[in-house]
Each structure stands twice: as structure tokens, then as C-alpha cells.
Amino acid sequence: MTALTAARVRDEPVAILDRVRRMIQANPSVLPTIASVVIFVGMVVYGEVAYGRILQASTLSNLLINNAHLIVLAVALTFVIITGGIDLSVGSIIAFSSVAGVMLANAGWNAIAVMVVMVGIGALFGVVSGVLIRYFNVQPFIATLAMMFLGRGLASLLSTKPERLGEDSPIRWIGVQLKIVDGPKVNDLVITPAVIIAVIVVLAAFFVLHRTRTGRTVYAIGGSESSALLMGLSVQRTKVLVYVISGALAGLAAVLYTARLGTAQNITGIGWELDAIAAAVIGGTLLTGAYGYVLGSVIGALVLGLMNVLITRDGGIPPEMTTIITGGILLVFVLLQRAVTRKKE
Amino acid sequence: MTAASGTSLWRELIHKPFFWGIVAIVALLALNVVKDPAYLAMTVNPNNGNLVGNLIDILRQAAPIMMIAIGMSLVIATGGIDLSVGSLMAVAGAVSMEFLNAAGDSASVGVAFAAAGLALLITAVLGAVNGVLVAYVGLQPFIATLVLMLAGRGIAKVITGGQNTAASNDPFRWISNGYLIGIPVVFILAVLIVIVVGWVVRRSALGLMIEAIGINPKASRMAGIKPKGLLLTTYILSGILAGIAGIMSVGSVMTVDISRTGYQLELDAILAVVIGGASLAGGKFSLSGAFVGALLIATLDKTVLFLGVSSSATPAFKAIVIVVLCLLQSERVRSWFRTRRKEKPAAPEQKTVKEEVQA
């Protein structure tokens, strides 16, 4: 009897390894997602060993609070990339939407109305990109590149100085830190409404992608657009929809970011499209479309966030290196994807 | 007889890809003249015989845009895109300024050449990275170059240590501020490079091969073209031309502004190419078109500034122009024009038709 349980205990890790191996063999595109989980855990362990104070409530909750907007952006990009497209305009949408939002709020608009307008601006940009791509066959990266410059230009037209949100503006409530567990000293588990919103977005996106017709159509378009069309799926409608979703989520990310920081500027969000694409790609979304996991993108966003924490803790790496490192990581993962998909072919 | 040949010449001109670009330049200049009747006036500086005037400023500003537009023309003709040109300009500026600053000798021609050569070497290497990723690894061109577009500015920052490095070197400064027989050196240089590149690609089969890759890579390979090496060469050339553009743009102020040198100029390059009549889907290019496109963009920049709009808002106008041009290229809009024309062959109706399409 005891020998039997001992054998079972010994078997269990082997069984798990075996299951993982079988999963990878069945579906090689899971590999990047697993790799990102491994990297995240590895970074946490390395940070804990090298710098300390990583694996504690305050650091981890700050990681979520500071990257809530990036998580939302990564979810936005996941939708677009799964269809085989790309959205380069998210950073500029954030700039325009946040500058416009802060100016409206300071002009005395109702906070709810301002937030609706901010998300609406994003959705409007998404509609324009989507229509250009769907009706006029413009390549996705050209259409969204044009929107990227349009958004940045419009934001500069509104203001080129940092716009401060009023101290008593209700929008700031989204960035307020709420203590959940009062730990020793400053080691508290804190959360902001922004984090809750980001979690809701992730869950909603997961539900839409994996449990609805629309979600399956998104995957089908990435796999083969013509086959999806022949199957009678609403390809055209969905293609516009993903860009609207992406734009609206970028608008939402602008709300979260502005609420946390309290200022908006026309240069906010330069290069965030790279962060968002990198987060999605690290999380296992294939740039050629059809493969991708919302939860993987969340991990990708957290990997990037944790990287920033480690760079700050280290102090020896100049902050200018951040974009180079992000670019390098993106490149490595794209090459990894390339190798995996080639093997499958 | 003369009237007939005149109309055929006219018709030929209208069908040139850059005809509408020239029309737009004339329209913009006319707009400026309306605001200031003396806008087009050019004077000769009595001290050194140099031409001075707004038109000369436009030529000078157009030179860097021409460089990246030509590189972009070739890359787009292969069916790719190079989003990294603006950042490579910043890298070239950072490298040359750091080198000149370290060398210190402010009169040496050799130092100026070494600085320019080093900058071009580094941008060529970065262009080769793009090329290898696209040609040999098989990445989508915009992803491969997007990485460098965003990381390139980081590389420039690392090179200068986050500073806006300034340096002084007269021969280097002469490249963008000097005059030769009264005309800015930078413009002469740009025209020469355009002619050389155009001569090489059009007098040899190179241009045809590049277009063949853009039309159908598989068929071009079967026809005996080696797409990989040619793609790599195209991206390296684009990198070098971006380096030249970077040297031209930092030379006028002898300072590299790592966050603004070449900032958003990739859009200018794409715009110049599209104005020049090339299709973003690849398969054809027109260097003379890109040349006119670059001139148009420089005129547009100057006009917007002249009319008193903030210069950081110009991308918005350019974005609108590029969207309109993309719409005009799309099959759907073209078919609208075609069906309208078939429905109403009578000439007098044409004016109302045009308005309908615009609405």
C-alpha cells in the first residue's frame, strides 16, 4: 500500500512533464506561451535572489497597478494580430484621447461623459482604420500607421504642453489605491479600480474569443480568410470589429493611464505600440495570425513590466536601453515563432 | 500639326506619375503667394553670390526627404517597407556628432569624411540587419523594421549617452549649409545621388528585377532572379540613404536632437513614394516621382509653417493626404470612377459627377 502511493507520488511529476510534452507536440504554437510563463517565473526568482523584495505583496501589486494600461493594450493587439492584422495606432490614440479628455474634464464636463468620449475617440479611430482596411483593401499597417500620425498630429494641435487633471476630478478615483490586505510596514496588498477594470477586460476578451461566434470568426480569419468566407462566417463585419475593439480598448487604456498619472501630453505613449505588440508576441500570439491567447498576452505585459522593475532596481542599465531590450526580446520571440511554424510546415 | 503634337505632349505629361505632384506644388506655392506676394522672390546675396529665398529653403529641406524617399521607393517596389529610416537618421546623426565631438579638429576635411563614413557604415549594418531578417529569416518587412524604428532611437540615445551632442567641424557643416555656384550643396548632392541611383537601376536590369520580386517573388525566382541577395541589397541601400539623410539634417545645426532628428520622417518617405505614383502593394517604382513627392512634402512643410500652424501638427495633414491617396489607389474607388464614366458619357455632366464622388 505504501509502496503504491510512493510510486504514484514519484509518477506524478513525470506525468505532468509528459502531459506538457504531449501538449507541445500536439500544438507547437503553445511553446512561446509556456516559454513566457517560464521567463516570468525565472525573472521573479532572479529578481528575488539578486535584488530582493520582488516576491512581496507591494511589489507585485505595484506591477499590476503600473501596467494596467499595458495589459489592456496587449488584449487589444491580441484581437487584431489573431486576424493577421496589426494596429500601430494605439499609442497615438492614447495621446489624443488623454489630452482631449483632460481638456474636457478641466472645461467642466461630467467625469462619466469625459470617459465615454475618451473611449469613443479610440473607437472612432478604430472605425476609420477598419473601414480603410475592409472596404478599400488598404494594408493594415499602412492604414493604422496613417492613424498613428493623425492621432499624434491632432494631439499636438490640441496642446503641446502637459495638461494637468484637476486635483478633485472624479476621474482620479480610478487611480486611487485601495488597501485590501494591510501588511507589515508598507508591504500592503493594494489594488486600484484601474486594475479591476483591466481584469474585467481580460475576462471579457477571454470569453469573447473562446466562447462566442465572433471569437471563433476572429481565429478563422487569421487561419484563412477565404476559407472563413466560404464557410459563411461574417468575415467583413468581424474585420472592422477587431479594429474598433482595439481602438476602444486603447481609449480605455488612456482613461486608466490618465487617471493614475493625472497628466496628459501629446508625447504620451510614443513606442507603446511596440510594447503592446511585444506583450502579445511574448505571450504566444503568432504575428501571422490564427494562434494567440489573451491570458498569454497578459503574462507578456507582466514580463515587460517586471523587466522595467528589474532595470530600475539594477540601476546599472541606462533607461535608454529599455526600448532596445524590448525590441530585442520581441525579435527573439518572433524568430522563435518563425522556427516553430517552419517546423510545422 | 503643332497643335496635335502639343496635345499629345500634354497628354503624355498628364499620364506621368508625378504630374499631380507638380500640380500640388504649384497650388501650394500659389497659396503662399496669395498670403505674401513677395514669397517667390529670390535675391542674390551680394557678399558671396549665393541665392537666398523661400524656394531655396524648400530645395534645402527637400534634400534629406529625397534620400529616404528613394530608398523607400526601392524597398516598396520589392513589396516590403522600411519603417526604420527616421530612426536610422537619428543614429547616423548621433554617430557623426559623437565622432566629430571626440575628434575635436574643427577644420579637418579628413575628420569630416571619417565621421560621415562611420555613420554610413553603421546605418548600412543596421540596414543589413533589416535585410537579413526580411530576406533570409522571412519576417514580415514591417515587423522587422518596426523593431529598429523603435529601438533605433534607443540606440541613438545610448550612443550619445542621452545627450543632444553638438560638435563643430566646418567641412561637415558645409555639406548642408554650403553653396556651390550659388545653389545649396545639399540639394546638388541629393540630385546627384538620385541620378546615380536612377541610372544604375534603370540602365541595368536591377530595377526590373526589383519590380519582379514585388510582383511575384516565386515567379521571379523561377525566372532566375535571386530574390534574397537583391532584397538584402535593397535594405542596405535604404539604410545608407537614411544615413546620408541623417548627416544632411544634423549638419545644418551641427547638433543631433535624438528625439527629434528624423522623427516621423518614415511617413514623409512613404508619402513621397505614394505621391510619385508607386503602389504600396509593390511591383513598380518611379524615382522621378519620389523626387517630385519629396519636393511636394518640403513645400507642404514650409507652407503649413508659413500659415502659422504648429509644426508638430503637420503629421495630421500628411496622414490625411496619405489616406486620400490610398483611397484613390484602391480598386473600389477606381471602379466607382469607371462606372460613373460609363453611365454618363456626356461631357457636360462631368462636373457634378466629380462633386458626388468627393461627397
pLDDT band at B352 (very low <50, low <70, confident <90, very high): very low
CA dihedral A80, A84, A88, A94 (to 10 degrees): 0
pLDDT of residue A271: 80
Model confidence at B294: pLDDT above 60: yes
Q: Is A264 helix (H, G, I), strand (E, B) or coil?
A: strand
pLDDT band at B17 (very low <50, low <70, confident <90, very high): low
pLDDT of residue B12: 73
Q: Is A323 on the interface with B (CB under 8 A)?
A: yes
Least confident of A235-239, B1-5, B140-144: B1-5
pLDDT band at B120 (very low <50, low <70, confident <90, very high): very high
Domain that holds residue A112: 41-344
Length of chain B: 359
Model confidence at B241: pLDDT above 90: yes
Query: Of the candidates A84, A82, A85, A86, which has an alpha carbon nearest to the alpha carbon of residue A291?
Result: A82
Chain B residues in contact with A316 (beta carbon < 8 A) = none
pLDDT of residue B354: 40
**Which residue in A128, A273, A331 has the most chain B C-beta atoms within 10 A of its own C-beta, making it the best mutation to test that interface?**
A331
Give chain A's domain count.
1
Q: How far is CA A321 from the centre of its chain?
A: 21
pLDDT of residue A301: 94
Residue A149 lies in a domain: yes
Helix (H) or strand (E) holding B332: helix B331-343
- Give the span between the Cα atoms of A67 and A192, in whole angstroms: 11
| Residue contact B326–A277, C-beta within 8 A | no
Q: Average pLDDT in the B16-21 region?
A: 74
Model confidence at B347: pLDDT above 50: no
| Residue contact A136–B137, C-beta within 8 A | no
- Give the span between the Cα atoms of A231 and A248, in whole angstroms: 29
pLDDT of residue A28: 63
Chain B residues in contact with A77 (beta carbon < 8 A) = none
Q: Is B66 on the interface with A (CB under 8 A)?
A: no
- When CB atoms are compared, the residue of A142, A149, A334 closest to B143 is A334
- When CB atoms are compared, the residue of B153, B267, B333 closest to A149 is B267
pLDDT band at B240 (very low <50, low <70, confident <90, very high): very high
Q: Is B312 on the interface with A (CB under 8 A)?
A: yes
| Residue contact B151–A154, C-beta within 8 A | no
Model confidence at B348: pLDDT above 50: no
pLDDT of residue B41: 77
Model confidence at B6: pLDDT above 70: no
Among residues of chain B, what percentage have pLDDT more than 90?
Answer: 26
Residue A28 lies in a domain: no
| Residue contact A136–B148, C-beta within 8 A | no
| pLDDT, tens only, B53-66 | 888 888 988 999 99
Residue A23 lies in a domain: no
Q: Is A146 on the interface with B (CB under 8 A)?
A: yes
pLDDT of residue B28: 86
Chain A residues in contact with B162 (beta carbon < 8 A) = 318, 320
User: Residue A280 maps to which CATH number?
Assistant: 1.10.3470
Q: Average pLDDT in the B87-108 region?
A: 87
Identify any residues that bridge with B43 across adjacent strands, giving them in sequence order: B52
Residue A17 lies in a domain: no
Residue A13 lies in a domain: no
Q: Is A143 on the interface with B (CB under 8 A)?
A: yes
Question: How far from B202 is each of A150, B72, B196, B208, B276, CA to CA, in Å?
Answer: 36, 16, 10, 8, 16
As averages over each run of 10 residues, the pLDDT of chain A (345 residues) reads: 50 72 69 81 89 82 92 95 92 95 91 94 96 89 89 89 86 83 76 93 94 92 90 91 96 94 87 88 85 89 90 79 84 81 61
Model confidence at B298: pLDDT above 80: yes
Residue A19 lies in a domain: no
State the complex-level ipTM. 0.78
Measured between its terminal Cα atoms, the distance across chain A in Å is 48
Of A339-343, B40-44, B161-165, which has the strongest mean pLDDT? B161-165
